[in-house]
């Protein structure tokens, strides 16, 4: 999936630099790689489509990076408030955003995570990146090594070899079943932790963004690709992501957020278009999915003058 584009002066994927607020209102779109959208041209992403809709009247900016969970979204919201003072905020929530917010479950360093406190609550802190060793510092100066990592995926090849040559891909997928990019297991302790993360997130996000819940759109991804099969979708509702989706949709609506459940529009669109919302080899939103999400977000922002 070759895509040509730019990162701007602020370090995010966009065809334009973000400016400090002036006379134009700003809408900020926050998320992980789904919003970052490296897989599609920027103009076809959710943020690019919103910018095309509002034209010169306002500015849409994406603050998103691969691997960011709910905890990092709150840090991004605080940054958006301090640097851009947006009038509206859109946050895309996906399947692996919940448990990966907790430090013990993190998949990467260098972003903000939730650290359990002695009183049972969470503290949001930056997890510093691991120190870079001599071998990595040398490798970063090698064009060949950068090519092997970024294009060939040599680190994945090595990891698979170390995991055991005899294990087939199908066996690996069965051993670690995932739904929505998250492990499907529903151990009571994991569910309780996820519900606690959601409660923290819904309380912290408006304060960080300097906005009321009614000025924040939470766009919650559908359970894909189970979405295309009624039986699979029904079964997936009882997985970890299925339960977390239901929890955040319910609790966010009760708190006054503008809640956007993407399952209904995705299913309605698929009935007529028969177009999937992800790539054959990649689970991220494709251009068609970004189009559907952008339409729904525009309607959710219908009360924004």
Looking at residue 277, the DSSP 8-state letter turns out to be: S
Superfamily of domain 26-127+183-300: SGNH hydrolase (3.40.50.1110)
Q: Model confidence at 128, in pLDDT bands (50, 70, 90)?
A: very high
Query: In 10 A of CB 223, how many CB atoms?
Result: 21
Judged against a pLDDT cut of 90, whether residue 137 lies above it is answered with: no
Q: CA 64, CA 58: separation in Å to the nearest integer?
A: 19
The answer to which of 100-114, 120-134, 163-177 has the lowest mean pLDDT is 163-177
Q: Model confidence at 187, in pLDDT bands (50, 70, 90)?
A: very high
Q: What is the pLDDT of residue 173?
A: 41
Q: Which residues contact 49 (CB under 8 A, 6 or more apart)?
A: 43, 290, 291, 294
Coil vs helix vs strand at 114: strand
Q: What is the pLDDT of residue 165?
A: 42
Reported as half-sphere exposure (CB side, CA atoms, 13 A), residue 150 has a value of: 9
Q: What is the pLDDT of residue 159?
A: 60
Judged against a pLDDT cut of 60, whether residue 281 lies above it is answered with: yes
Angle value at C-alpha 112, between 61 and 291, nearest 5 degrees = 35
79, 121, 213 from 95: Cα distances, Å:
24, 23, 22
Q: What is the pLDDT of residue 248?
A: 98
The answer to which of 145-149, 192-196, 290-294 has the lowest mean pLDDT is 145-149
Percentage of the chain lying above the pLDDT 70 cut: 93
Q: Which two tokens stand for residue 228?
A: 């295309």
Mean pLDDT value across the chain:
91
Q: Which two tokens stand for residue 271?
A: 């009935």
Q: Model confidence at 1, in pLDDT bands (50, 70, 90)?
A: confident
Q: Model confidence at 150, in pLDDT bands (50, 70, 90)?
A: confident
Judged against a pLDDT cut of 60, whether residue 258 lies above it is answered with: yes
Q: Model confidence at 90, in pLDDT bands (50, 70, 90)?
A: very high
Q: What residue spans define the domains of the chain?
A: 26-127+183-300, 131-179
Nearest CA among 203, 195, 219 for reference residue 93 = 219
Q: Model confidence at 284, in pLDDT bands (50, 70, 90)?
A: very high
Q: CA 161, CA 163: separation in Å to the nearest integer?
A: 5
E strand or H helix at 284, and its extent?
Answer: strand 282-285
Judged against a pLDDT cut of 70, whether residue 168 lies above it is answered with: no
The answer to which of 77-91, 125-139, 177-191, 217-231 has the lowest mean pLDDT is 125-139
Contacts 24+ apart (CB under 8 A), 109-117: 111/65, 111/67, 111/68, 111/69, 111/71, 111/72, 111/75, 112/71, 112/72, 112/74, 112/75, 113/69, 113/71, 113/72, 114/71, 114/197, 114/200
59, 148, 166 from 169: Cα distances, Å:
44, 22, 10
Judged against a pLDDT cut of 60, whether residue 4 lies above it is answered with: yes
Query: In 10 A of CB 297, how many CB atoms?
Result: 25
Percentage of the chain lying above the pLDDT 90 cut: 78
Burial of 305 (0-12, 13-18, 19+ CB in 10 A): exposed
Q: What is the pLDDT of residue 170?
A: 38
Judged against a pLDDT cut of 80, whether residue 300 lies above it is answered with: yes
- Give the largest Cα separation in the chain, rounded: 62
Say how many residues make up the chain.
Answer: 305
Q: Per residue in 196-228, pLDDT tens?
A: 999 999 999 999 999 999 999 999 999 999 999
For the four alpha carbons of 173, 179, 184 and 189, in that order, the dihedral sign comes to positive
Q: CA 26, CA 234: separation in Å to the nearest integer?
A: 39
Reported as half-sphere exposure (CB side, CA atoms, 13 A), residue 18 has a value of: 24
């Amino acid at each position: 999936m070759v895509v040509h584009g730019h990162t701007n002066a602020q370090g995010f994927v966009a065809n334009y630099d973000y400016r400090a607020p002036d006379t134009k209102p700003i809408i900020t779109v926050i998320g992980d790689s789904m919003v970052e959208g490296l897989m599609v041209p920027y103009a076809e992403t959710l943020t690019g489509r919103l910018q095309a809709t509002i034209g010169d009247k306002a500015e849409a900016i994406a603050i998103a990076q691969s691997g960011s969970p709910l905890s990092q979204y709150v840090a991004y919201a605080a940054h958006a408030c301090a640097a851009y003072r947006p009038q509206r905020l859109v946050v895309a929530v996906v399947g692996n955003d919940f448990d990966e917010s907790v430090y013990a479950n993190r998949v990467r360093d260098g972003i903000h995570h939730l650290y359990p406190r002695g009183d049972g609550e969470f503290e949001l802190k930056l997890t510093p990146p691991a120190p870079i060793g001599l071998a990595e510092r040398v490798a970063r100066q090698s064009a060949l090594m950068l090519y092997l990592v970024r294009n060939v995926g040599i680190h994945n090849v090595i990891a698979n070899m170390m995991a055991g040559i005899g294990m087939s891909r199908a066996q690996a997928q069965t051993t670690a079943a995932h739904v929505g990019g998250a492990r499907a297991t529903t151990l009571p302790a994991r569910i309780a932790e996820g519900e606690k993360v959601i409660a923290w997130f819904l309380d912290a996000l408006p304060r960080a963004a300097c906005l009321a819940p009614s000025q924040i759109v939470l766009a919650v991804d559908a359970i894909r690709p189970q979405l295309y099969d009624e039986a699979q979708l029904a079964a997936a509702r009882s997985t970890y992501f299925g339960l977390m989706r239901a929890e955040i949709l319910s609790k966010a609506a009760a708190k006054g957020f503008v809640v956007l459940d993407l399952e209904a529009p995705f299913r309605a669109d698929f009935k007529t278009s028969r177009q999937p919302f992800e790539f054959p080899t990649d689970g991220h939103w494709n251009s068609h999915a970004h189009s559907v999400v952008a339409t729904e977000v525009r309607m959710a922002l219908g009360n924004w003058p």
